[in-house]
Amino acid sequence: MKDAEESDMRRKSVKINAEEDVKELLAPEILSVSQKVSTDDMEEKFPHLHAEITEKSMNINIDVVEGKFSPSKQGESHENLIDPFRDFMPSVSDYLCRARTEKEAKEIIDFSLKQGRLTGQEADELLEQLEKEGVRAFGPIRTNGHYFRKASKIRNRQVIKKRYSTPDNK
């Protein structure tokens, strides 16, 4: 019992000493929550950051192609690429694909019926399909980020097609 107490005391003393050492090593300005810095001090201590802030020249266009980042080619514009999900409104089946259980799927169908997105007959058909085929009858499960991944793939195909197409292929 006595050994355990001594061990705990040693641990506490080590922690206290470590905290005091860290406070001594760190400059007081770093420990403060906020500090005003003159532009001259800023330029002296952080020249690159000062240059970025004053020149406002940090504008880099980045494209994602095949899952890797690559800088845009100069003069290349992607403004005319199609945004596949612009003005997209998910359908009831899109919501049903997010359901993990039959209970969740039934709640989605009931809610959609109350909102007027489904007729009574459509709701009955979906409930019947749910009971016969299960929750995955409406499609594979869609996890968070599904539409971002899908849009990224479509956009990457557009970028690749645009980069490697010749005037004859357009």
- The per-residue pLDDT for range 14-71, each reduced to its tens digit, is 444 455 555 555 555 455 455 677 878 888 888 887 787 777 655 555 444 444 444 4
Q: Which of 33, 55, 77 is the endpoint of a domain?
A: 55
Q: What is the pLDDT of residue 70?
A: 46
Is residue 121 domain-shared with residue 151, that is, in the same domain? yes
At CA 152, angle to CA 79 and CA 75, rounded to 5?
30
Q: Which of 69, 79, 44 is nearest to 158 (CA)?
A: 79
Residues 83 and 143 in one domain: yes
Q: Give the model's pLDDT for residue 3.
A: 61
> Which residues 6+ apart lie within 8 Å of 57 measured at CB?
51
CB 109 within 8 A of CB 92: yes
Instruction: Provide the domain limits for residue 126.
Output: 61-170
Query: Nearest-CA neighbor of 109 among 100, 122, 90, 132?
Result: 122
Domain identity same for 36 and 107: no
Better-predicted residue by pLDDT, 156 or 167: 156
Q: What pLDDT does residue 168 have?
A: 58
Residues 21 and 92 both lie in one domain: no
More confident residue, 115 or 151: 115
Using a 10 angstrom Cβ sphere, with 0-12 exposed, 13-18 middle and 19 or more buried, the burial of residue 79 is: exposed
* Mean pLDDT, residues 164-170: 62
**pLDDT of the residue at 39:** 79
Question: Can you spell out the DSSP letters for 4-53?
Answer: HHHHHHHHHHHHHHHHHHHHHHS-HHHHSS-----HHHHHHH-HHHHHHH
Pair (47, 65) in one structural domain: no
User: Do residue 109 and residue 144 come from a single domain?
Assistant: yes
Mean of pLDDT over the chain? 73
pLDDT greater at residue 19 or residue 167: 167
Give 80's pLDDT tier (boundaries 50, 70, 90).
low
Please state the domain count of the chain. 2
Tell me: do 99 and 116 sit in the same domain: yes
